[in-house]
Amino acid sequence: DQQVKQNSPSLSVQEGRISILNCDYTNSMFDYFLWYKKYPAEGPTFLISISSIKDKNEDGRFTVFLNKSAKHLSLHIVPSQPGDSAVYFCAAKRGWTGNQFYFGTGTSLTVIP
Amino acid sequence: DVKVTQSSRYLVKRTGEKVFLECVQDMDHENMFWYRQDPGLGLRLIYFSYDVKMKEKGDIPEGYSVSREKKERFSLILESASTNQTSMYLCASSISGHEKLFFGSGTQLSVL
């Protein structure tokens, strides 16, 4: 049973515009969330995270928003760049110190120059 | 920088063969993980280990086993490879109590 879901397998955005990637989770015990980025033939790399005590975390062009009541988070990339084209995975776990990560199915982002 | 190294980028094996996938990390991380990535299914956890000689089943352990004899090395074993084990295999490590996983580059395994 998929506890973390990314319902959009792919997304195309024009360079310079905003990319919004969405993620939903079902387990209310999850309280720490991460986004990973994966290029072809490479392992995923950590992008940004958020704890459930916050509703927003920002790092440069990347912002993650968390809506706990809706069990929903989103990643905003502004402005989008061609180098952002990759597969993005949402992940969740129980607590900052939790060791088991639960991943979504990924969203493939294409930024069109 | 943390380095997680997987021994092979591409591997082609025959049905029924015993397959070993090796992973080594150089940062003294306690935790190590094996995931497989399949289109439309994302990353699914096969096995993980909190310490030397310790192992825990993940979500899809059937057909796999693991070995962790040294802290830096975590091996995934396919006892008798089958075509449905054709996949991208990703190894990862983390420090206990740390927020992040660090991944290797992956091994694309094809079982014919």
Q: B67's torsion region: left (phi>0), alpha (psi -120 to 50) or beta? A: beta
Contact A46 B97 (CB under 8 A): no
Q: What is the pLDDT of residue A80?
A: 98
C-alpha to C-alpha distance for A81 and A64, rounded to whole angstroms: 17
Q: What is the pLDDT of residue A98?
A: 62
Q: What is the pLDDT of residue B82?
A: 97
- Nearest CA to CA, how far is B4 from chain A (Å)? 10
Assigned CATH topology for domain B4-111: Immunoglobulin-like (2.60.40)
- Assigned domain for A102 exists: no
User: For residue B100, which residues of chain A lie inside 8 Å, CB to CB?
Assistant: 34, 46, 49
User: For residue B32, which residues of chain A lie inside 8 Å, CB to CB?
Assistant: none
Nearest residue to A80 via CA among A24, A37, A16, A25: A16
User: For residue A102, which residues of chain B lie inside 8 Å, CB to CB?
Assistant: 45
pLDDT over threshold 90, residue B6: yes
pLDDT over threshold 70, residue A51: yes
Query: Token pair for residue A91?
Result: 């992940």
- Assigned domain for A43 exists: yes
What residues of chain B have any CB closer than 8 angstroms to a CB in chain A? Answer: 4, 9, 31, 33, 35, 40-45, 48, 50, 58, 90, 92, 94, 96-106
Domain locations in chain B? Answer: 4-111
pLDDT over threshold 90, residue B88: yes
What are the C-alpha distances in Å from B72 to residues A93, B2, B4, B68, B104? 24, 12, 9, 8, 13
CB pairs under 8 A between A and B: 60
What number is the average pLDDT over the span B20-32? 93
Q: How confident is the model at residue B14 (pLDDT cuts 50, 70, 90)?
A: very high
Q: How confident is the model at residue B84 (pLDDT cuts 50, 70, 90)?
A: very high
Q: Any idea which of A67-81, A97-111, B3-17 has the lowest mean pLDDT?
A: A97-111
Please report, for the domain that includes residue A69, its CATH number.
2.60.40.10
Q: What is the pLDDT of residue A82?
A: 96
pLDDT over threshold 80, residue B91: yes
Q: How many domains does chain A have?
A: 1
Question: Using CB atoms, which residue from B40, B43, B104 is nearest to A103?
Answer: B43
- Domain that residue A44 falls in: 4-95+107-111
User: For residue B103, which residues of chain A lie inside 8 Å, CB to CB?
Assistant: 36, 43-45
Q: What is the pLDDT of residue A96?
A: 58
- Assigned domain for A28 exists: yes
Q: Any idea which of A56-65, A99-108, B101-110 has the lowest mean pLDDT?
A: A99-108
What number is the average pLDDT over the span A53-66? 96
* Cβ atoms of B70 and B53 closer than 8 Å: no
Q: What is the pLDDT of residue B59?
A: 87
What number is the average pLDDT over the span A69-84? 97
Place of tokens 């990353």: B43
